[in-house]
Structure 1
Amino acid sequence: MTLRIVLVDDHPVVRAGVRALLESTDDLVVVGEASNAADAVRAVEAERPDVVLMDLSLGDGEGGIVATGRIRALPDSPAVLVLTTYDSESDILRALDAGAAGYLLKDAPPDQLFAGIQAVFRGEPALAPSVAAVLMRRAASPEPRMTEREVEVLELLADGLGNRELAKALFVSEATVKSHLSHIYGKLGVDTRAGAVAAAIEQRIIRR
């Protein structure tokens, strides 16, 4: 059986390379391409593929996680396999929560990519070794886990936002921001904003 694939990536050269790689086999054919979330949904509705290969960073500001959620909400939706350069805990968890069936990195060898596509089509998970390690470490850690809001605060901290800017971005009071920071510092074992960002990056909670 030949599996029908839709590629979603905002770099045309990357799409061309992945298409050439996939179509070098007899089992896979690319039936559509998209560079943003809206076009990805349209391509899936038009082509009814078996699997969608999804990058997380797209050119429309919405990203692959939004696109994954929209595609998975469609009737008889295809499996979505993330293929990206990002392996932070927040990216992985958000993608899986949005409905992705697998998560591979762009440096994966071709055989791993081919096997991943076949696996998610069969309803099985497909995870890069480093991604599986992140998930296992998270599951095994005795430390309190970051909430989604705390991860969001960390990402904004990494962008250099102060308390007032954080409050505005999160639509909360500065007192609430200080409460979030206190909880974050406690969970990471740090006492400064810079220390929190460094620890979060080192632990792959947020992107570098």
Structure 2
Amino acid sequence: MVRVMIVDDHAVVRSGLVNLLHGKMGIEIVGEAADGDEALVKAETNVPDVVLMDLSMPHGKDGLTATGELKKRMPNVEVLVLTMHDDEEYLFRAIQAGASGYLLKSAPYEELLSAIHHIASGNAYLYPSATKRLIGDYLDKAKNGEHAGTYDLLSDREKEILAKVAQGYSNKEIAEALVISVKTVESHKSNLMEKLGLKTRPDLVKYALKKGLLSFE
């Protein structure tokens, strides 16, 4: 049985999801929350396997912030972002925050069920057009020479920093984890992005995702 908690600021949406999912294909709804703050409290009480997380919640913590904090407190809980935002920036920010999946609210019921079971099994899930867009964008940039650099050019330290930056760690957090100065982190990050031909954090996240450097555990 997959224990699921629903986080959405619209009561009608939560009620509809409960009616759709509870008792279907081994799914049990163990809680609901209207914002990120309530989600964090109820997750610790109800211990879900999967949290369906909306992104835009005007009161309390938003979905991205709540996802990041939830993964720090309860790393074994998987987060499936369920949103109306078909936007690349939101997608990568959700991945950085620790979400295991990203699905649009317009998705068919069967796809939602599949996504829940997929990430409950420890896998990552992106809705098909997002995966296609990610791969297409990467290939376009590779064709234009923007990814002329290769992973093998990086030093071991640069590889460590690449993975941590892609996972959403700040320069200060990376410095503390690796016991080096923030200035050293910034220098390594600048060097690795130059070697790989990357210019922005989303570009770096895409590269890390392609290389299998992002952990969803």
**Deviation beyond 3 Å, 4+ runs, structure 1:** none
The answer for the alignment partner of 2:37 in structure 1 is 38
The answer for the alignment partner of 2:51 in structure 1 is 52
Q: How many aligned residue pairs are there?
A: 145
Q: Using the alignment, how far apart are the partners of 2:105 and 2:71 within structure 1?
A: 22
The answer for the alignment partner of 1:109 in structure 2 is 108
1:76 Cα shift?
4.4
The answer for the alignment partner of 1:27 in structure 2 is 26
Q: Tell me, what secondary structure is at the counterpart of 1:73?
A: helix
CA 121–61 in structure 1, closer or farther in 2 if over 3 Å, else same: same
Q: Tell me, what secondary structure is at the counterpart of 1:59?
A: coil
Q: Deviations over 1:114-135 (max 9, x none)?
A: 1100110111111111221232
1:9 Cα shift?
0.4
Q: Using the alignment, how far apart are the partners of 1:88 and 1:45 within structure 2?
A: 30
Give the partner amino acid of 2:86.
D
Give TM-score, length-normalised by structure 1.
0.65
CA contact (8 A) 1:87 1:130 kept: no
Structure 1 gap ranges (5+): 146-186, 188-208
Q: Deviations over 1:64-101 (max 9, x none)?
A: 11011011101443100011100111100000110000
Q: Using the alignment, how far apart are the partners of 2:54 and 2:74 within structure 1?
A: 22
Structure 2 gap ranges (5+): 148-198, 200-217
1:16 Cα shift?
0.5
CA contact (8 A) 1:7 1:33 kept: yes
CA contact (8 A) 1:35 1:59 kept: no
Q: Using the alignment, how far apart are the partners of 1:8 and 1:18 within structure 2?
A: 10
Percent of matched pairs sharing the same residue: 40
CA contact (8 A) 2:37 2:60 kept: no
The answer for the alignment partner of 1:67 in structure 2 is 66
Give TM-score, length-normalised by structure 2.
0.63
Mapping 1:175-190, distance limit 5 Å: none
Please provide the CA RMSD for this pair: 1.9
